[in-house]
Amino acid sequence: MTAFLPRRIGRLLLSVWVLVSASFLMIHVVPGDPVRAAMGLTASPEVVEARRQALGLNDPLPVQYISYVRNLLTGDLGASIVSNLPVSQVIQQRLPASLQIALPAFALLMLLAVPIGVLMAVLTRGGRRACLNLGYTTASVVVGAIPDFIVAVVLVYVFAVRLGWFPVAGRESAGSFVLPVLTLAVGGAAVLSRIVRAETLSVLDHDFIRTARAKRLPALLIYLRHAVPNAVTATLTLGGMLLAGLAAGTVLVENVFQWPGLGTILVQSIQQKDYPVVQALVLVYGGLTLVVNLCVDVLLAVLDPRSAVKEG
């Protein structure tokens, strides 16, 4: 563990540096003048030049990079070209709405995937119930392969348009959360349940499971106390990746449901060429992914010290 943590934190810092550098270069590799693109053709050259000067875009590239990193270290993400509001204020206003659907979606994903995966492993162990195994595998592959925005459209058509059970879009009532959360959770649950099933099948063939059966322990106790904890390693790894992916997944889902989160403002900022906001949101999404991956790695090292030894 003493070798694992410094190495893992060093990789995190290197990844953060790459992410920051990529977000900085983003505004310079885009063809044309980003300030002119954001302010429109009707803005006078004097106004555009003044805005470029205020943003520091006339300085040499190394000077801009040093200034950009220094501002990030002090918590200054810049200001929106379009609204002139601090980018940090825009993120503070939008981030809670994104978390309100991403975190419940992850919780629902885990609550669906783990029991379904374990149950299917128990029912189909040893080649039993071949038809059930085929049906489950086919369904999970198909559902897991459907893009989130298509799932969103189908759910809206069935449960909002045809049945009228939930609102089509917006965040005015508790029912508004149901369809976005389901959209984010369904595909990930299908993928993760297959991993849980495969890991559980592998664990059920181990000698300690045979010993537990030889002791005539109750089947439910064997599965919950011995099988599930030993199958959790791969589940946590993929679960962490899915949690990080949910952050990016909210971009499309929020725009389908007109959800006032980071995904909606990201698409608007791209359309309006508001690159300071886009830069900051790239850092937010990338930073969330890196932090989640670090937390998963540390948790796995605590649960299974052998992984820390291999990493160290």
The per-residue pLDDT string of the chain (312 residues; one tens digit each, 9 = 90 and over) reads 677 778 888 888 898 888 888 888 877 776 666 676 666 667 777 777 777 777 777 778 788 888 888 888 888 887 787 777 888 888 888 888 888 888 888 888 888 888 888 888 888 877 778 888 888 888 888 888 888 888 888 888 888 888 888 888 777 778 888 888 888 888 888 888 888 888 888 777 776 666 766 777 676 667 666 676 666 666 766 777 777 677 667 787 888 888 888 888 888 888 777 778 888 888 888 888 888 778 777 777 776 665 555 554
Phi/psi of residue 79, nearest 5 degrees: -130, 150
Question: Do the domain assignments include residue 6?
Answer: no
Q: Between vectors from CA 71 to CA 68 and to CA 77, what angle results, nearest 5°?
A: 90
Q: What is the model's pTM?
A: 0.74
Question: Do the domain assignments include residue 79?
Answer: no
Phi/psi of residue 205, nearest 5 degrees: -90, 0
Q: So what's the pLDDT on residue 261? A: 83
The three-class DSSP label of residue 304 is coil
Tell me, yes or no, whether 138 and 277 share the same domain.
yes
Q: So what's the pLDDT on residue 31? A: 66
Largest CA distance in the chain: 85
Structural domains counted in the chain: 2
Note down the domain range covering 62.
12-73
Question: Do the domain assignments include residue 81?
Answer: no
Asked which of 48, 73, 98 is the last residue of a domain, the reply is 73
State the first-to-last Cα distance of the chain, in angstroms, to the nearest integer: 7
Q: Which residues are paired to 79 by β-bridges?
A: 86
Tell me, yes or no, whether 115 and 236 share the same domain.
yes
Tell me, yes or no, whether 66 and 126 share the same domain.
no
Query: Which two three-digit tokens encode residue 223?
Result: 């599965």
Tell me, yes or no, whether 259 and 160 share the same domain.
yes
Tell me, yes or no, whether 52 and 175 share the same domain.
no
Pairwise CA distance, residues 119 & 137, whole Å: 13
Of the candidates 35, 31, 75, 26, which has an alpha carbon nearest to the alpha carbon of residue 54?
A: 35
Question: Do the domain assignments include residue 162?
Answer: yes
Question: Do the domain assignments include residue 78?
Answer: no
Tell me, yes or no, whether 228 and 261 share the same domain.
yes
Question: Do the domain assignments include residue 107?
Answer: yes
